[in-house]
Amino acid sequence: MRRIRLLIVLLALVSLQVNAQDMAHYKRIVKELSSARYQGRGYARGGANRAGRFLEKEYARAGADEVTRQPFTLDVQTFAGKMEMVADGKKLRPGVDFSMREYSPGVRGEFPVYHVDTLHFDGERMLADLAKPENQGCLVACDFWFTYRHRDVFSRLQKEGECPNAGLIYLWPSPIKFFKAYAHRVVDKPIVWVTPEAIEGVRRVRLNVDARFLKDYECFNVIAKIAGERHDSCYVFTAHYDHVGNLGRRVFYAGANDNASGTAALVTLAAYYAQHRPPFDMYFLAFSGEDANLRGSTYFVEHPIVPLRQIRYLFNIDMIGDNNPMQYCEVSDEGAAGLALFEQINSEKHYFKALRRGDLAANSDHYPFAQRHVPCIFLENESGDAFQYYHTIFDDWQHAVTDSYEPVFRLVRDFVERY
């Protein structure tokens, strides 16, 4: 009896050790990818491609049978030079008080500020106001969502010749965001995101912002394969390893949750299946260009290395570095039957309180596959403690949360075993 108890204890300790090693492996990759070495895994300073080379080595260390690159190009606006803004003599902090709209040109100069009256708004009256001599060459300041609701008017303020304003200031609550989704183009006039408290009552601003448009910038997806017993079907695991990069010379967006968290899960899944050989081939696709409007995944579905019809199921893991007990997901029409199995497994194992299904959207790399009728699911842990830092400079290792990693890992693993 003592021997049996001792054996049980030893097996439990081994199990705990394996789990601890997996978590240690996961944390090491998240911490590495969100470090200054990769400068936010953007394009202007080569951080994305440097991260891709790191992942190649990690896949090889994990035991992948094959590791390859899939090169592609993209066009992208970048801001890695001067980044200065002064409001009525007060110097604002990039990434904290202000950032740039991703399709903004660079800008230099001093400008008066025109604050839009949103309570008594009349688009034609505003345009008439802006034509007055005292307002010409101004920056028009307004809440972003208000400009979105009235985009038929405010889109005119982005175009040269439509209105004599110099540009736009979008008000966005702290923490200020930075995006890259529409950075493949550049509009005529500068657009700056600013927190309401930093611009309230301000009469003049001075800007000195460098921008550089990268044409046909060379990126690559990193693809690892774990060979199974059969090669006529496969499972696919995806995550994007790029992020939004730099805002000026000193500020970068580390992207610990978005999406070092999902990328690290991909590597640990590859390591698991290298040790537990699956019945089908497994592909692990680390995409670049996701934050630049899903460019890497779109290129892959247009140039697949395996026929898309052979994909039994695809798992897109994005932003799981959080602690919400509810697991958000989206599924393709063809993946709906799989969702029932996910819910059954979760009900049995209690990995999450529940799975919350959202509408399918073009918000991550599952979408190009869903459009081509691949059965797939998108897993994201939203609205936890880390989610508030999405696309801000505070999504870093210091604010990293790891609670969702193990339940996501186990949910996916159990699904593959039973699907």
CA torsion, ordered 117, 121, 125, 131, to nearest 10 deg: 40
pLDDT of the residue at 382: 87
pLDDT of the residue at 17: 37
pLDDT of the residue at 21: 55
Q: Give the domains, in start order, of the chain with CATH numbers.
A: 27-77+215-418 (3.40.630.10), 82-209 (3.50.30)
CA torsion, ordered 160, 162, 164, 169, to nearest 10 deg: -80
Q: Considering only CA atoms, which of 102, 84, 100, 178 is closest in space to residue 393?
A: 178
pLDDT of the residue at 12: 39
C-alpha to C-alpha distance for 244 and 339, rounded to whole angstroms: 31
pLDDT of the residue at 91: 98
C-alpha to C-alpha distance for 218 and 215, rounded to whole angstroms: 9
Sequence length of the chain is: 419
- Within 8 A by CB and 6+ apart from 317, the residues are 237, 238, 239, 262, 265, 266, 379, 408, 412
Q: Angle formed by the axes of helices 47-62 and 2-33, to 10°?
A: 160
Is 0.85 surpassed by the pTM of this model?
yes
DSSP for 22-63, please give it: HHHHHHHHHHHHTSGGGGGG-STTSHHHHHHHHHHHHHHHHT
- Within 8 A by CB and 6+ apart from 110, the residues are 204, 205, 206, 207
In order along its 419 residues, the chain shows pLDDT tens digits of: 444 444 333 333 334 333 445 899 999 999 999 999 999 999 999 999 999 999 999 999 999 999 999 999 999 999 999 999 999 999 999 999 999 999 999 999 999 999 999 999 999 999 999 999 999 999 999 999 999 999 999 999 999 999 999 999 999 999 999 999 999 999 999 999 999 999 999 999 999 999 999 999 999 999 999 999 989 999 999 999 999 999 999 999 999 999 999 999 999 999 999 999 999 999 999 999 999 999 999 999 999 999 999 999 999 999 999 999 999 999 999 999 999 999 999 999 999 999 999 999 999 999 999 999 999 999 999 889 999 999 999 999 999 999 999 999 999 999 999 99
- CA distance to 63, 191, 261, 319, per residue, from 28 (Å): 17, 37, 11, 16
User: What is the SS3 assignment for 403?
Assistant: coil
The residue type of 168 is L
3-state helix, strand, coil in the chain (%, to 5): 35, 25, 35
DSSP for 126-159, please give it: HHHHHTSGGGTTPEEEEEHHHHHHTHHHHGGGGS
